[in-house]
Structure 1
């Protein structure tokens, strides 16, 4: 693109009045062009050339060179927790619908009785595993709603609200997991 602009500019200079008087070897170099050589080749030959070119292309370093920041880690965790929560809900609903056909007992009383028989650490682990994505996704959702109305867009505020979401999520997940366990 740059060579094409230089060529057009040289042509305009040459066409300008008095251009012949200002003709120099340097301006002649700008007006030179080289012929384009083309050749036809088969599809497999073209693919081989393209594959060789792709091997020589640089790979974007993205994750290798950037230091993790709360902004993009939080955004990724919000998406991951949303997928985990909705996927878990879909799996449970599908199992609940199929349960009468397979003889499973997934009624609330059966599930509560089964979990009540578990050791305390197993109950805490299960409850924390369920509560952590739920609380993080909820608090981060409120954070995104604040952004939708135009609040908290400065870098310092974004970082503070990100860490606040993490702290509130951990505290509330532990509180929810411990509630009724002991």
Structure 2
């Protein structure tokens, strides 16, 4: 802090005493990360007097400036769109799929320690003992996030190529991804 103040004062003195060297004073102040406050030129004969702001007044000046700034619009004023829902759904399904895989993998590795039976024979026996409605529901709950995340990933790859980027095309492909995800999840759930 003291070094910055020293460079600031010496660059001001250099600029005031030797106007020919003033072109070097500003870069020295910039290199020392010193912010300069430029005063507007006043053509009257009297010099412009500036008074430095007190540190206690700095917060009130900043608060007054913030009141004059425009407020950015919040999401609540916009009409919800399909792209919002698909974007957050893509993130949620990706988190659910990867989180579920990690949790099951850790449980499978820890199952011998705790006496859990997570081997394939036990899981298929448990699943086979369920009624048809429960089986279809479980398969749909697993297939829907998988198909949605997969088809929406293909949609994003198409966007990366630079295709289907107009507003209308984004909406059409969004509804298409949603429809094909539901249909393919139902088909996977109804497979025997």
Instruction: Normalising by structure 2, report the TM-score.
Output: 0.66
Question: Counterpart of 1:43?
Answer: none
- For residue 34 of structure 1, report the CA deviation from its aligned partner: 6.3
| Residue among 21, 24, 35 paired with 2:51 | 35
Question: Counterpart of 2:185?
Answer: 173
| Residue among 121, 130, 134 paired with 1:118 | 130
Question: Counterpart of 1:79?
Answer: 91
- For residue 67 of structure 1, report the CA deviation from its aligned partner: 1.7
Counterpart CA distance in 1 for 2:160 and 2:133 is 40
Question: Counterpart of 2:105?
Answer: 93
- For residue 60 of structure 1, report the CA deviation from its aligned partner: 6.7
Counterpart CA distance in 2 for 1:99 and 1:112 is 16
Query: Which stretch of structure 1 is more off in the superposition, 97-106 or 164-173?
Result: 97-106
- For residue 171 of structure 1, report the CA deviation from its aligned partner: 0.4
Does residue 159 (structure 1) correspond to residue 171 (structure 2)? The answer is: yes
Counterpart CA distance in 2 for 1:122 and 1:94 is 25
Q: Deviations over 1:114-156 (max 9, x none)?
A: 0111122222221111111000000001101111111111111
- CA 1:147 to 1:38, structure 2 compared with 1: closer, same or farther past 3 Å? same
Instruction: Normalising by structure 1, report the TM-score.
Output: 0.70
- For residue 59 of structure 1, report the CA deviation from its aligned partner: 8.7
SS, match of residue 35 in structure 1: coil
Question: Counterpart of 1:105?
Answer: 117
- CA 1:143 to 1:118, structure 2 compared with 1: closer, same or farther past 3 Å? same
Q: Deviations over 1:139-178 (max 9, x none)?
A: 0011011111111111111111110000000001111111
Aligned-CA RMSD value: 3.2
Q: Structure 1 regions of 5+ residues with no counterpart? A: 15-19, 41-48
- CA 1:32 to 1:95, structure 2 compared with 1: closer, same or farther past 3 Å? same
| Structure 1 outlier segments of 4+, above 4 Å | 31-34, 56-61
